[in-house]
Structure 1
């Protein structure tokens, strides 16, 4: 496989990201709120502080990507 083909595939996947994100507004919002609440004031965001919200967002992306396979 040529590298040109690989980059074309990567570019296509990246171009689909906004539509996948649009279908996951609620989990994306929950994750963003969690991160914001952990960094407001004291700025102490620790690894896995928002792991549950992140997992929900990743599950939504995976489901959306499977539905939108082109």
Structure 2
């Protein structure tokens, strides 16, 4: 596998990101609000604080990417 093929595939995935993000805007908003709410002041985001919201966003991205491939 050559390095240029890897770069080409990576660029293609990055170009698709805005489209996928648009399809998952509701999930991204919920996740963002969770992160913002749990990191008010000087509080740090801790592992699994927004796991449920992140999983919903991840699932949405995965499903949107599968639809895009077809």
Aligned to 1:66, what secondary structure does the other structure show? helix
Cα RMSD (Å): 1.2
- TM-score normalised by structure 2 residue count: 0.92
- Between the two proteins, the alignment pairs up a number of residues equal to 70
Runs (5+) with no aligned partner, structure 1: none
- Map Cα deviations across residues 19-51 of structure 1 (whole Å, 9 max, x no partner): 100000110000000000001134232110000
TM-score by length of 1: 0.92
List structure 1 runs of 4+ shifted beyond 2 angstroms: none
Q: Which residue of 1 aligns with 2:45?
A: 45
Q: Which sections of structure 2, spanning at least 5 residues, go unmatched?
A: none
